Amino acid sequence: MADQTEDLKAFERRLTEVISGHQPAARFWRIIFFFVSMCTIVGAWTWLWDPETSQVSLSQSLWNHPFFTISCSVLLLLFLFGIHKRVVAASIIASRCRTFLSEYNMSCDDEDIFNLPQRKSLSSVISWVRRRFKVPRPRS
């Protein structure tokens, strides 16, 4: 039982390490997303309040407002390249961990600390986790 507990603690440490490793990148992409979104909002505001917007064609109106056109294009490109996935990568990993841990009557909270099972076999969880995440057996 002590060996299984050590394996579970090793997995918990590894999971915490992986999720905390994604946090700086997610923070960076959140900042980029916020900045580009604010630029798009400001550009849209000036574009919509321009009196010429309703009097000229759409293409001419967009040509007259390059700040909005460029910021909107950059925002669309960011979505096409998956910024929405990069912003929430750590949350996706934690959610998937909760999903597979629920099969073994286990869960983890937001700090990735396990709530140990009450009824299921811990050895089946450990063996599955070892295979799935290639967690090495701790050295004695």
- Walk along the chain (140 residues) in steps of 10 and give the mean pLDDT of each run: 72 77 82 95 93 89 93 95 82 78 69 53 66 63
Task: Please tell me the pTM assigned to this model.
Answer: 0.62
Closest alpha carbon to 37 in 66, 64, 76, 65: 76
d(CA 83, CA 77): 9
Q: Do residues 118 and 105 touch, judged by C-beta distance below 8 A? A: yes
Give me the pLDDT at residue 116, please.
54
pLDDT attached to residue 99: 81
Predicted local distance difference test score (pLDDT) of residue 140: 52
Cα-only R_g, the chain:
24
Check residue 124 and give its pLDDT: 67
Q: Are 69 and 62 in contact (CB under 8 A)?
A: yes
